[in-house]
Structure 1
Amino acid sequence: MRTTLLILAFCLGTSSLFAQGTTETISQGTVLTLSSPVGHNYKHIDFPRRNFIIKRGAVADYNSLIGMEIIVKEMVTGTDGSTKAILERKDGRPFFRFYPTVEANLEQALAVGELKS
């Protein structure tokens, strides 16, 4: 029982160190890849809601984003220490025809796997 808890604590500690280490290597201009969301929607990347996309006349298909390369346009560190990133598409086109950039919580999106470097 004690060794199981020790191994679990070690794994959690190294995974948090890995997530922190990846944000230090990511800077402005870094190319990242979008992967599939955890549920139906992306939780740590602030894409507009489906009804807003549909009201503007675009198709709200989040599956078409999987595998898309995006560029970190700007990084902002919050007061709580979290890193927010402004992301844009590598090909220069807007997301869903109307949104040129989106915002993401970089640490959490990398930890969950919504973004890959």
Structure 2
Amino acid sequence: MSKIYLLTIVFFSSLSFLSAQEIQIDTVKIGDKLIIGQPSSNSFIHIDIPRNNFVIKRGGLPNISSLQNQQVMVTDISYGKSTVVTFKNVSGKKFFKVYKTFSTNLDKALETGELMLHKSKV
């Protein structure tokens, strides 16, 4: 009786382990280009942009409208509960003359239009 009980526990625990693994579909890869779109409200919600006082303290110029329609390149991708992407400016300039990179929740930013996939001409 105990062997059957032990086997059923092992069987069900192995099934739960297999179902816990999710298959991540890569929307973007490192080096892909994206375009920053319109903010979903007065400011960007899903792109992690520092508040204006932090930008000013570091000597930058906090102008949210300067980010719109800017072309950025993916530098790092982190998978977890959500896909977090770090990106930099394609032109090599810093954002607000201070920050080299920003990060974002990729799925939510694409869904709201804060980020758009760059359509390269082939």
Report the TM-score when normalising by structure 2. 0.73
CA RMSD of aligned residues (A): 1.1
The residue that corresponds to 2:7 in the other structure is none
Matches within 5 A, 1:93-108: 93-108=93-108
Q: State how far apart, in whole Å, the 1-side matches of 2:86 and 2:116 are.
A: 15
Q: Secondary structure at the match of 2:26?
A: helix
Summarize the alignment of residues 75-90 of structure 1 with structure 2, pairs less than 5 Å apart.
75-78=77-80, 80=81, 82-90=82-90
- 1:72 aligns with 74
Give, in angstroms, the shift of residue 97 of structure 1.
1.2
SS of alignment partner, residue 25 of structure 1: coil
SS of match in other structure, 2:55: helix
Alpha-carbon offset, residue 25 of structure 1: 3.1
1:40 aligns with 2:46: no
Unmatched segments (≥5 aa) in structure 1: 1-22
Determine the structure 1 residue equivalent to 2:30.
28
**1:9-28 → structure 2 map (5 Å cutoff):** 24-28=26-30
Give me the identity figure in percent: 35
CA separation in 2, counterparts of 1:25 and 1:112? Answer: 15
1-side partners of 2:35 and 2:73: how far apart?
Answer: 9
Structure 2: any 5+ residue segments left out of the alignment?
1-24, 118-122
CA distance in structure 1 between the partners assigned to 2:45 and 2:27 by the alignment:
23
**d(CA) in 2 for partners of 1:31 and 1:45?**
16
1:63-108 deviation line (CA, Å, top 9, x unaligned): 0110000000010001x2x100011000111111111111100000
Query: What is the TM-score with the length of structure 1 in the denominator?
Result: 0.75
Which whole-Å CA distance do the structure 2 matches of 1:88 and 1:76 have between them? 15
Identify the residue that residue 116 of structure 2 maps to in structure 1.
116
- Distance (whole Å) between structure 2 residues aligned to residue 99 and residue 58 of structure 1: 9
Counterpart-to-counterpart distance in 2, 1:76 and 1:24: 11
Matched residue count: 93
> 1:55, CA displacement in angstroms?
1.8
Aligned-partner SS, 1:110:
helix
Where has structure 1 moved over 2 Å in runs of 4 or more? none
